[in-house]
Amino acid sequence: MTDTALTTGLDDAQLHDVEAAVHAIADRARTASRRIARATRARKDEALRAIAAALLEHEPRILAANAQDVERGRGNGTSKAMLDRLSLTPARIQGLADALENLASQPDPVGTVVRGQTLPNGLRLRQVNVPMGVVAAIYEARPNVTVDIAGLALKAGNAVILRGGSAAASTNEALVEVLRDALDSVGLPADAIQTIDAYGREGANVLMRARGRVDVLIPRGGRELIQTVVQNSAVPVIETGEGNVHIYIDESASEDMAVEILLNAKTQRPSVCNTVETLLAHSHSTVLPAVARALRDAGVRLHVDGRVAALLPPGEDVSAATDEDWGTEYMDLDLAVAMVDTLDEALEHIRTWSTGHTEAILTNDLRNAERFIAEIDSAAVIVNASTRFTDGGEFGLGAEVGISTQKLHARGPMGLGELTTTKWIVQGEGQTRA
């Protein structure tokens, strides 16, 4: 999706029909959201478990639909990284079901008291978490997001409208049908989960303009999609961000730890946003040759500056890094590597090129670790561990809507709490303001 995608080629009558259809979906979602907001924790948890069971029961149907999307993507020249994001397997479906079961075991955020007090005049104040209402999500080639967002929205008492994009159209159609049937089976409104995929790009445009019908919009995908939504939406947006993630190897870091963490952070699943994309190594560190060798043996293509190239063994197959490499979220088995002389230089490089997602330091120097934590302004800062841990499931949130890189109420992995807002409840006994 790009800015030019806002023009879809439909005539006025067709545009009117799409607008009416999307508005009708949003209005049904608003009605459903009122029932979901009143649902007890027991009923919402029952629905989550019903969805988990339905995913496993209908696994063959879901995988068949997904195979159609993957085959179509392969024929259209979709990148390997995007095909990985698009693909579902029995293990990934089991993972989605497990995440829903985990969500069911999480405390209900709705009704939680954030703070409260009794004023000198006797008024009793409470600020409590309440559902957002109607949550919309626009994303691409990520059928797992269909389940994650629907589950989180449900547990947090919201209705959700999904726009999953053409790349995963068959998979998302099958998933939404399964999810809606599961809601209906436990007596909750199926319209709490709806999709506008049938209305294409113009449907997404209408959704972005549906202020008053939709309470919050969450884009999840690449830079182009996210910026299109941020720049064109009239609906309030919680912005998720791309992951140009850095790891800095301090001069005190051990070789074994550096090798193990870099392999995990780069090769475990290179197509996701918490994968490391740039490695910075202190010039006094001795671990870089071993790290580079391990990464190259794992199939990683290194894009290196001149000082790193001079340090590596002769004949090492590497590419010369450019500014484009420092700013690239590869989402593949590529890694930019630079040498720095000081922690200050590492911090400056990260400030220049980071997208504010996740940065990590490998060090045995407590002062350097504390300074890195204090001075890095990203949603997640990690010391001596893989960047792959920046994830709602790994953080114990059950699942996530995405990783927010903004600085409003949601930052980092967005779980249940981030899909609620608050309201003030004031209880008195006849007080009037002087």
Predicted confidence band of residue 1 (pLDDT cuts 50, 70, 90)? very low
Residue 2 domain-assigned (yes or no): no
**pLDDT of residue 270 exceeding 70:** yes
Q: What percent of the chain has pLDDT over 90?
A: 82
341-358 pLDDT, tens digit each: 999 999 999 999 999 999
Residues 220 and 253 in one domain: no
Mean of pLDDT values over 195-221: 95
Residues 314 and 294 in one domain: yes
Contact 298, 269 (CB under 8 A): no
24-50 pLDDT, tens digit each: 999 999 999 999 999 999 999 999 999
Question: Looking at per-residue confidence, does 414 or 127 come out higher?
Answer: 127
Which residue is it, tokens 């029995």?
A: 90
Rg (CA), the chain: 24
Residue 96 domain-assigned (yes or no): yes
Residues 19 and 114 in one domain: yes
Residue 1 domain-assigned (yes or no): no
Burial of 383 (0-12, 13-18, 19+ CB in 10 A): middle
Residue at 301: amino acid letter:
R
Q: Can you give the pTM of this predicted structure?
A: 0.85
Residues 161 and 291 in one domain: no
Q: Flag the least confident range among 102-106, 166-170, 377-381, 396-400.
A: 396-400
Residues 168 and 82 in one domain: yes
Q: What percent of the chain has pLDDT over 70?
A: 98
Which residue is it, tokens 């809601």?
A: 183
**pLDDT of residue 3 exceeding 50:** no
Query: Bridge partners of 211?
Result: 214
b vs e for 87-100, b when ≥16 Cβ sit within 10 Å of the residue's Cβ?
bbeeeebebbbebb
Which residue is it, tokens 């330091």?
A: 361
**pLDDT of residue 2 exceeding 50:** no
CATH number at 262 reads: 3.40.309.10
Quick one: three-class SS letters along the chain? CCHHHHCCCCCHHHHHHHHHHHHHHHHHHHHHHHHHHHCCHHHHHHHHHHHHHHHHHCHHHHHHHHHHHHHHHHHCCCCHHHHHHHCCCHHHHHHHHHHHHHHHHCCCCCCCEEEEEECCCCCEEEEEEEECCEEEEEECCCHHHHHHHHHHHHHCCCEEEEECCHHHHHHHHHHHHHHHHHHHHCCCCHHHEEECHHHHHHHHHHHHCCECCECEEEEECCHHHHHHHHHHCCCCECCECCCCEEEEECCCCCHHHHHHHHHHHHHCCCCCCCCEEEEEEECCCCCHHHHHHHHHHCCCEEEECHHHHHHCCCCCCCEECCHHHHCCCCCCCEEEEEEECCHHHHHHHHHHHCCCCEEEEECCCHHHHHHHHHHCCCCEEEECCCHHHCCCCCCCCCCCCCEECCCCCCCEECCCHHHEEEEEEEECCCCCCC
**pLDDT of residue 138 exceeding 60:** yes
Residues 230 and 257 in one domain: no
Residue at 143: amino acid letter:
P
Residue 165 domain-assigned (yes or no): yes
CATH number at 136 reads: 3.40.605.10
Residue 403 domain-assigned (yes or no): no
Residue 401 domain-assigned (yes or no): no
Predicted confidence band of residue 240 (pLDDT cuts 50, 70, 90)? confident
Which residue is it, tokens 């930052």?
A: 411
Residues 419 and 347 in one domain: no
Which domain, by its residues, includes 356?
246-395
Predicted confidence band of residue 213 (pLDDT cuts 50, 70, 90)? very high
121-133 pLDDT, tens digit each: 999 999 999 999 9
Predicted confidence band of residue 8 (pLDDT cuts 50, 70, 90)? low
Query: Which among 206, 181, 192 has a CA at the least distance from the CA of 150?
Result: 192
Q: How many domains does the chain have?
A: 2
Contact 312, 305 (CB under 8 A): no
What is the C-alpha separation between 357 and 334, in angstroms, rounded?
18
Cβ neighbours around 21 below 10 Å, total: 15
Mean of pLDDT values over 324-329: 94
CA distances for 264 relative to 51, 288, 342, angstroms: 32, 16, 25
Predicted confidence band of residue 315 (pLDDT cuts 50, 70, 90)? low
Contact 153, 22 (CB under 8 A): no
Predicted confidence band of residue 191 (pLDDT cuts 50, 70, 90)? very high
Residue 95 domain-assigned (yes or no): yes
**pLDDT of residue 222 exceeding 90:** no
What is the C-alpha separation between 253 and 341, in angstroms, rounded?
15
Both structure tokens of 160:
């959700």
Q: So what's the pLDDT on residue 314? A: 75
Which residue is it, tokens 């449907």?
A: 203
Residue at 160: amino acid letter:
V
What is the C-alpha separation between 420 and 429, in angstroms, rounded?
29
Residues 391 and 275 in one domain: yes
Residues 129 and 180 in one domain: yes
Residues 132 and 154 in one domain: yes
Both structure tokens of 189:
């409104």
Residue at 231: amino acid letter:
Q
417-434 pLDDT, tens digit each: 999 999 999 999 999 998
Residue 431 domain-assigned (yes or no): no
372-411 pLDDT, tens digit each: 999 999 999 999 999 999 998 899 887 788 888 888 778 8
Residues 228 and 204 in one domain: yes
Residues 291 and 391 in one domain: yes
Contact 399, 366 (CB under 8 A): no
CA 279 to chain centroid, in Å, comes to 23
Residues in the chain, overall count: 434
**pLDDT of residue 6 exceeding 60:** no
- Return mean pLDDT, the chain: 93
b vs e for 68-79, b when ≥16 Cβ sit within 10 Å of the residue's Cβ?
ebbebbeeeebe
Q: So what's the pLDDT on residue 382? A: 98
